[in-house]
Structure 1
Amino acid sequence: MAVILPRLVFLTLFLHLIASQQINGSVSVGSSLTATPNAKPWLSSSREFAFGFQQIQGTDNFVLSIWYDKIPDKTIIWYPEGRAVVPTGSKVDLIRESGLVLSNPQGRQIWTSGPISDLAYGFMNNTGNFVIVGNNSPKIWESFAFPSGTLLPTQVMAKGGVVNSRNTNFTGGRFELRLLPDGNLVLNTQDIPTDYTYAAYYISGTYDTSNSTNSGEQVIFGETGYLYILTGSGQRFDLTPRGALPSGDYYHRATLDSDGVFRQYYYPKNPTDNTSWEVVWFVPDNICWSIAGDKDSGACGYNNVCSLDGNRPICECPQGFSIVNPDDPSGDCKPDFTPSCDEVEPNNGGEMFDFIELNVVVYNSNADCWKKRLPLSNGRKETTLTKAFLKYRKGSVSDLPPGTPPRLSGGNKDQRSLILVGSVLLGTSVFIIVVMTIVICVGFFVIYKKKATNTYPYTKTVNTNLPRFTYQELVTATDGFKDELGKGTFGIVYKGVIGNEIVAVKKLNRVVQDCEKEFKAEVNSIAKTHHKNLVQLLGYCNEGEHRLMIYEYMSNGTLAMFLFGEIRPPWKQRSYMAVGIAKGLSYLHEECSSQIIHCDIKPQNILLDDYYNGKISDFGLAKLLMMNQSQTNTGIRGTKGYIAPEWFRNIPVTVKVDVYSFGVLLLEIISCRKSLVLESYDQGVAVLTDLAWDHYQERRLDAFVENDLEALYDYKKLGTFMMVGLWCIQENSALRPTMKKVVQMLEGELEVGEPPCPYPFSITS
C-alpha cells in the first residue's frame, strides 16, 4: 500500500494537469464580455487568437469579432455579419439554452448563435475557430461554419458554402465566393437588396462533365497554409501554387476583400518593424476587366470607373460625378448635372445643352458608336479603345473641376443616354454626329408635342391623368396581341412596345355592365398609388366593350415561377421579397387616399422586376369583376388555398382577408411549397397551413423548410417569419395583425408572441 498510494497521487495530479490544459482557452456557461475600451477578450491557449469587442477607431462603437491578438493591427478574421457593430456597454453572454447572445446596453438581443441544447462550454481554439462544445458532442456550433470574408488553415468549405466579401462597416459585401453543387468554385457579384446573383467572374473549372466523381467536393485550407479543392475521387486541385509559401513560421489567411479579389496572405509570427500582410496568390488577375454584363455595376459601383494598381483596383468617379458615400470610394457615383432633353425649343437646343468629353470609357469590343443609359456600369480606365461624350443641361454643372475639356453642343431624344463614340469616329465624324443628334432631338420634340394625348410619357410619373390609348393603338403595340405573357383572374396579359419601352398590356375579362364611370374611378384610384412594391399603371383603354390596362413590364415573371421551380431560391432573397410584399400591402391598406383591398393575393399576382423585387399586381381590379367570374363559389373573390374563412360566412369582409392570404403566401415563401398539393387520390390534398402548424407545434422547422441550411442558419428570422405567418392565418380575423404590424414584426421592430392554433372554430365544429 505504501508503494501504490504515491502512484495514485501522482496519477491524480497528472490527470488534473491534463484536464487543466484541456480547459485552457475554454469559456464557462454564464461568462460574459462588455464592450468597453479596456475589456479583456477570451483568448485561445496559445494567446494568438481572441474573441471579444474591438473598438472602431474614431468612434464609440465596437465590433464583436475574432482577431489575431499578437499582430499589432489586431487583424479581424470573423464577425457576425450584419449584427457586429454595437455601442459602448453592449454585452455578449454564453447562455446554456441560447449559445452566444449579443445584446445592446438596454438588454435587447441583437444577434445569437441560435438555440442550442446540451451546451457544456465555449472554446476559443488555436486555429481561430470559436467552438461551442456539448456534454455529449465535441462541436454543436462553430464560427468556422459562418465565415465572414476570411478562411483560415484547417477550415473546410463544403458544396453550397458561401463566403461574402467584407466591408469596412462589417456587413456582407456584394461579392461572393461559392462552391457550387456542380463542383466549381466561383466568384460572383450579387445585388445586395435582393441577393440576386450575377454571372461568375472567376470559375475554377473543377467540374467534370464526363465523370462527376472528379468534380470538386470541398475547399480545404491545409494546416501548412496551402489552399486547394478536393474532388470526389480524392484528387487535389491546387489554388495556392506549389512552392509559393515562404519557409518559416507564419500566419495564413485567405480573404475575399471588399474589392472582389480573393487573396491569400501570410504574416510572420516573429515580425520585425514595418511588417505587413503579404499577398501570395489572388484571383482574378484583373478585377477591372473580369466582371462583365449589362446589369451588374462592375468592379466599382455604378457610374464609377476602375483602374488597376498592382492587384488592387482603384475606383474613381469620372469628371462631372461625385461619390455617393464618401466612406465607400468603390461605391456608386452620382452625376453633378441633369442629363435631360426636356423643354427643348426648336431654336435653342444648342444653347441649353453641352457635351463633356470623359477621359474614361465603357468597353465595347467592336469600337462602335452606341448609346448607354445611366447609371453607367463596368467603367474601366482606357484611352486607346473608345471615348465617351456625356450630354448635360447647361447650368447644372456648377462645380465641375477646372480644366474641363472643350464641350460640344448637342441634344438627344433619350434623356438618360450617353453617346459613346469609337476612337475611329473622332474629329469631323464627331461634329456630324452632334449635328444629327440636335436635329433628331428637335424633330422628336415637335412630333411628341403634337401627339401628347396619345403618347406614352417617358417619365413614368404617376398622376390621375393617365394616358388614354385607343384600342387600335394597343393592337399595334402588341402586334395583334401576339405575345401572351400569362393569364389570371382578371384577364390575359400581352407583351407590347410603346415608344421605346416594353410594357405589359392586360385585356380585362368582361366587367360589370354600364361601368364606364366605375372603371375610370378605379383607374384613377390605382393611378394615385405609388410604391416600389406595386406594379405601376402607365395607361388604359376604355373604348366600347374594350377595357385594357397598360403596366410596367416585369422581366422576371411571377413569384410562383420563382418559388416553385427546380432550384430552391436563396433564403435571404426570399425573406427580402416577403418584407417588400408586406410593405406593398400595408401601403394599399393604410396609406392610399382610398383604402384598397386586393382580394386575390397569391404568388401568381406577385411579379418580379429586373432585380427580383417583388411587386403586387392586379390590385384594385376586384371591384370591376362580374360576380360570376370568381374562381371559387359565386360571390367569393380569390383563389382556393388563399381565401380567408370570412368569405364563406355572412360577415363583413375587411382588409383582414388580404392579411390571411399574405399569411399563406408567407408560408409558401418560407418553405417553397404550394398552398395546396394533390398528393394522391387516396391521401387527398396536402394543406400547407395545416403542415405549418403541425411542424411549428413539434418545433420541427427543419422539416418544414426541408433542411434549407441557409434558412436554418438564420434561425431567429426563420422562427419569426413562421410565427408571423401563423398569426396572419388565424381563423378569427380579429386576431390577425394589420399589415403595418406584420411589416414591423418581420423587420424585428415588434416582438412576436406565440401564435395560438389558427383554426379553433373548425376543430370545435
Structure 2
Amino acid sequence: MFLSVQFRKPQEFSAYRVFSVRVFTCGFYGVGENAYYFSIWFTNSKDKTVAWMANRDKPVNGKGSKLSLHRDGAFVLTDVDGSITWEANTRTTYVERAELLDNGNLVLKDSSGKVVWQSFDFPTDTLLPHQRFIKSKKLISILGRGNYGTGYFNFFFDTDNVLRLVYDGPDISSVYWPNVDFDAFGNGRTNFNSTRIAMLDEMGWFLSSDWLNFNGSDSGFGIRRRLTMDYDGNLRLYSLNIVSGLWTITWEAVRQLCSVHGLCGRNGICVYTPEPKCSCPPGYEMADPSNWNKGCKPRFSRICSSKSPQQVKFVKMRYVDYYGFDSSYSPGITLESCKMRCLEDCQCNAFSYRLTGDGKCFTKVELFNGYKSPNFPGVLYLKLPLSIETSEVVVLNGTNHTCKLGETTITIGLGTSSTLETRGRRVRWVYLYSFASVIGAIEMLFFVSGWWFLFRKSGIPDMVEEGYRVLSNHFRKFSYMELKKATKNFQEELGRGASGVVFKGVLADDRVVAVKKLGDAYLTEEVFWAEVSIIGKINHMNLVRMWGFCLEPKHRLLVYEYVENGSLDKHLFSGNVLGWNERFKVALGTAKGLAYLHHECLEWVIHCDVKPENILLDGEFEPKISDFGLAKLSQRDHNNSEMSRIRGTKGYMAPDWALNLPITAKVDVYSYGVVVLELVKGIRLSNWVAEDGDEQETELTRFIKVVKRKIQIEETAWVEDTVDTRLNGHFTRIQAKKMIEIGISCVDENRSKRPTMDSIVQALLECEDGLRILDQA
C-alpha cells in the first residue's frame, strides 16, 4: 500500500515548504543563492538526489513564488511577479487533491480518487521502479553537476522500436549506443516488436520490448533504485545505501566513456589519461574555457588546400579517430592517394587511414566525436596551415583535460563499475537469427504474461523472473540442473585451476559454453561475486565473455563463452610449435585486454593472476584473458590497496606481494612481462633451477642475466640467440627485439620503472606490419 502526503484545493504551497513520505520529499529545491525548482527528491540520500523536476529550465525566485491547486483544477507554479512558470494540464478536469506516493509519483486525483495527472508520465532524467517507459517518453540529462537545465543526452525508443542513447546537441545529433556498427539483431535487440514499452522493477531488473534486458549487480528486494541519464552521456542504474546515503552504480550502458558522442564538443578529442578527459588537437584551443560542450576552435583561418597545397601540412595523430562525417570512403588505396583526396577537397579537415588488410581512407568534413584509444587500428592526419607550429610527437594527454559543463568542473565519468561496446566483437549470426526466429514465435506470449505480472503491486512473482531470463540472451541466471544437463553431468573437463574445474557444455539454444564449477575453497560470497560482478559487466574482444551464473545453496558455477583452442600453455610449452605471428598476436591482444581493464574501464580492475593458463586462444589464435576469481577492483578516487591475502601464481607474482607494498596495476604488468618473455623463449621461465652451492633462482632471473650480458657486450645476434630455437629463425626480428625489451622492463623489481599497459600496447602496435608500413609511407 502506498503512503501519501496530500493537500487539497484551494491551497498554496510556498517556496520554503516541503511535504514528504518515508522515501521521497516533494517541495522547492534550492540551488545557489535564490533559485528554486519544484522537485521530488530522495529523502535519505546524502545530496538530496532529484528524481523529478517540474521547471528544470526556468527556476523561480525563493521569495514570493508559490505552487497552487486552484478551484478549477489548475496545478500551477508561479514566480514572484505572478507569471506562470509551470502548469499541470488539468484545468478541464475536476481535481480534488494532490498526493505524493511512496513510489515517488506525484499524482492529482478527482473526488472519486481517480488519477487525472501524474509526474510518472513526464520523466526528466530519471526512471523509478514501476514507472512505465513508453514510446512517447524520454530521459534527458541535465547540463552538468548542479546545473539542472535540459542537457544534450537522450534515452528513448527510436522510430525502429529500439532503445537508444543519442547526443542531440546544438550542432549535431548522433546515436552512440547500442553499438552503431551492428544492426538491432547484432546488438541482441529486436525491432519487430512495436509495443515500445519498458520498465524497471523493485528487484533491479529492466525489461524492454526490444529485448534490452539487464539487472543491477545487487538485484533483490528492499533496495531503493533509480535509472538515470547522466550528464556525461551514460545511462546508469543506481542503488541507495540507506546508512551512508550514498549511491552505488550497479549497471551502466557505456563501459568506454570516450565512445559517448558529443562529449568533448566540436573538434574535441576524448582521451584516457587514464580517466576519460577532453583535449584539443594541435592548432586548436577551447572555444569556452568553462564549457567543453562548445568544444575547440581553430587558431587559424582556413584556406582552400586545392588552390594552395604548398601551404598545407598534415599532422599525424596515432590511435585517434573522429566518428562519422566522412565525406568519402575509399578502400584499397595508398596513403599518398588518400592524402591527395583530402588536399583536393577544400572542405576536408582531416583524413583517417587504416591498414587492416587493404588500406582504407576516410576523409572528414567535420570533426565531431573524437577519441583516442590504443585499440583503434589507424592514424588520423589533421590538415593544418603550414604556419601552425606543431611538435613531431603529438601528445594529447598533457594539458587542457579538465572537462567543464556550465560552471562546475568535473571529470568525465561518475562510476565505480564498468558494458564495453567494442567494434571488434564477433557476432554469431547463425545463433542470433535462429534465436530471433524462435523468440519471435513466442514473443507475444511472454510479453502479455510478463507485463501482466509485472504490474501487480504485490511484487515480482517467479514467472516474471523466468520471463526475464528467457528474454535476456546476454547474461542470465542458470539452474544447476540446467547446467548439469548441458555438460552431460560434467563429463568433458577442459581444465582446472585455483578457483575450480572447467567443463565443456552445450546450452539448449546450441551455444557451446565453458562451465566453471567453483571449488570448495572458493565458495565464499566474496570470491563468487568477484567474477560475476567483474566479468559479467565487461566486454572486450580480448577478455573472456561471461554468459551467466548459477547460485544455489550447494552449487556455484560460472558460464563463459567457449574458446576453441584452449589455454596458451598447451600450445607454447607442448610439442606443437606455436608460430611467431600467433605469439605476437597473443602478446598484443593480451596487452590490449589488460590495458582496457587498467585504463579504460570506469572501474579499474587488477587481474592479479596473469599467466599462460589464464590466456585462452580462439579459432584465430586471438587471446582472451580468463579467470578473474582473484581480481581486485581499484577505486579511482583513492588508493585502496588493502588485500586480504596474497594472490596469484608462484613465478608470475610481482615482488610487490612479498615486500607488502600497496597493490597496484603494476603487479599485472610484472606477470605480463613474464608471459611475454615466455612467448619469445618458448619455455617456462617461472620455474626454479638449482645453481652452484644449491642456491636457487628462477629461470627468469637467469634468462635476464644472460640477455643483459649479451646486450652489454653488443653481440650482434643476441635476439636470434634468445628466440625459441623451435621456430628455426622464422620470426620478425623487430617484433622479437621489442617484446624482449618490453618483457625485461615489465619485470623490473622497482615497480615505478615498469611501463603501463597502454604504453605497451602502443609500443607493440608500432611493430605491427601494417603500422610499420604506414610509418614508412
TM-score by length of 1: 0.40
Relative CO higher for 1 or 2, CA cutoff 8 Å, sep ≥ 6?
2
Structure of larger gyration radius: 1
